[in-house]
Every structure is written in structure tokens, then in C-alpha cells.
């Protein structure tokens, strides 16, 4: 086992956990938010069969700039430019109106790098499974249905990246009547 890689990945997990420490998911159990990034990394490694360290660290960090006080500079300083660039590709600009943010995510998906596409595929697979499990507090069925339709538009622009993850996403879309 590569000691340096294990040390870097563990440092990254700890960094992400501290950044997300006060955040909770929108489910009724108020699951600690960190479960999401760790779950996304786990999907990439153990369902997508991808163990590229930069991809797995970017998965752990993928919501830190978007949702915490973390900066891209901080990520680059601690984890390097390659990881930082993947995080940049998967970070929505929260200063934009929501609809514009969601439109841009569909558009950017097409031209993003294969490493960013992997993170995005796993992010969507995690969130869609969460939606199948439980409706987020304050959401309506319409909002859930809209998320599935929007998520499929993003995923359709990520295809050709990882057949295992795309197949599992299509099973979910099929179950939702979206095919």
C-alpha cells in the first residue's frame, strides 16, 4: 500500500469533515453532511471501480467551496492544482440565481474533464438514491420529480465516462419512468 497516498487521502477526509462539521443533510435524521462526500467517493471507488487518488480527493472536497468557507486557494495549497481544478469544474456559482446555476450545470457537464464527470456522476447517483429513500424536508413531490428530470439532463451530458455508474443511474431513471 502507498503510504503517501493513504496519508494524503486521510488528511483530505479530515479536512472535508472539519469544513462540513456543522452541516446536516435535508433528511429527517439530519444526517451529518460529510456522509454525502464520503458516500460519493465510496461510489466512485467501489461501484465505479476507479481508485485515482485525485478523483477520490476531489469527491471528498466537491461541495466544500460551494457550501462552506473553504476557498479554491486552500484546496490547492493542501491538495494540489490537479485536485483543485476538478473541484472547480464541479462547483456551482452560488451567487447566480438557482435556475441559471442549474442550467449551467447541464451545459458544463458536456465539456468537463472525465475526472470531473466521474465526480458528477457519483454525486448524482448518491443524491438520487437519497431522494428514493426519503423526500428532503420542505420538498414537494413536484420538486423531487423536477430534480430527477434535471439530473437526467446533467447525466445525459456526462455519458461515456463510466458504464457501471451510468447503468445504475439508468436503473433509477427507469424506475422513475424517465427513459
Ligand X SMILES: Nc1nc2c(ncn2[C@@H]2O[C@H](COP(=O)(O)OP(=O)(O)O)[C@@H](OP(=O)(O)OP(=O)(O)O)[C@H]2O)c(=O)[nH]1
Residues lying near ligand X in the complex (CB under 6 A) are found at: 25-27, 36, 63, 92, 98, 123-124, 127, 130-131, 136, 147
34, 48, 57, 63: which one binds Mn ion (CB under 5 A): 63
Q: Name the minimum Å distance from CB 155 to ligand X.
A: 10
- Catalytic residue flag (residue 29): no
Give the separation between CA 64 and CA 41, rounded to whole angstroms.
14
Do you know the residue count of the chain?
A: 179
Give the separation between CA 6 and CA 25, rounded to whole angstroms.
27
Q: Which of 47, 66, 74, 170 is catalytic?
A: 66
Q: Which of 27, 47, 54, 67 is catalytic?
A: 67
CA-to-CA dists, residue 148 to 9, 12, 132, 143, 173, angstroms: 31, 30, 10, 9, 7
- Catalytic residue flag (residue 77): no
Tell me whether residue 8 or residue 154 sits nearer to ligand X (CB atom). 154
Give the separation between CA 144 and CA 127, rounded to whole angstroms.
11
Q: Name the minimum Å distance from CB 5 to ligand X.
A: 26
| Contact of residue 166 among Mn ion, ligand X, none (CB under 5-8 Å per partner type) | none
Task: State the angle between helix axes of 53-61 and 35-46 in degrees (0 to 180), rounded to the nearest 10.
Answer: 160
Query: Active-site positions?
Result: 66-67
**Contact residues for Mn ion, defined by CB under 5 A:** 63, 123
Amino acid at each position: 500500500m502507498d503510504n503517501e497516498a493513504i496519508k494524503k487521502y486521510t488528511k483530505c477526509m479530515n479536512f472535508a469533515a472539519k469544513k462540513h462539521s456543522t452541516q446536516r443533510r435535508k433528511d429527517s435524521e439530519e444526517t451529518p453532511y460529510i456522509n454525502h462526500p464520503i458516500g460519493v467517493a465510496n461510489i466512485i471507488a467501489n461501484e465505479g471501480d476507479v481508485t485515482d487518488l485525485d478523483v477520490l480527493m476531489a469527491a471528498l472536497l466537491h461541495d466544500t467551496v460551494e457550501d462552506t468557507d473553504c476557498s479554491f486557494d486552500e484546496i490547492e495549497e493542501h491538495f494540489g492544482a490537479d485536485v483543485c481544478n476538478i473541484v472547480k469544474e464541479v462547483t456551482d456559482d452560488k451567487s447566480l440565481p438557482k435556475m441559471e446555476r442549474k442550467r449551467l450545470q447541464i451545459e458544463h457537464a458536456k465539456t468537463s474533464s472525465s475526472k470531473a464527470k466521474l465526480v458528477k456522476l457519483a454525486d448524482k447517483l448518491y443524491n438520487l438514491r437519497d431522494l428514493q429513500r426519503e423526500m428532503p424536508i420542505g420538498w414537494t413531490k413536484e420538486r423531487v420529480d423536477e430534480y430527477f428530470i434535471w439530473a437526467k439532463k446533467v447525466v445525459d451530458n456526462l455519458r461515456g465516462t463510466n458504464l457501471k455508474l451510468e447503468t445504475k443511474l439508468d436503473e433509477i431513471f427507469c424506475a422513475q419512468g424517465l427513459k
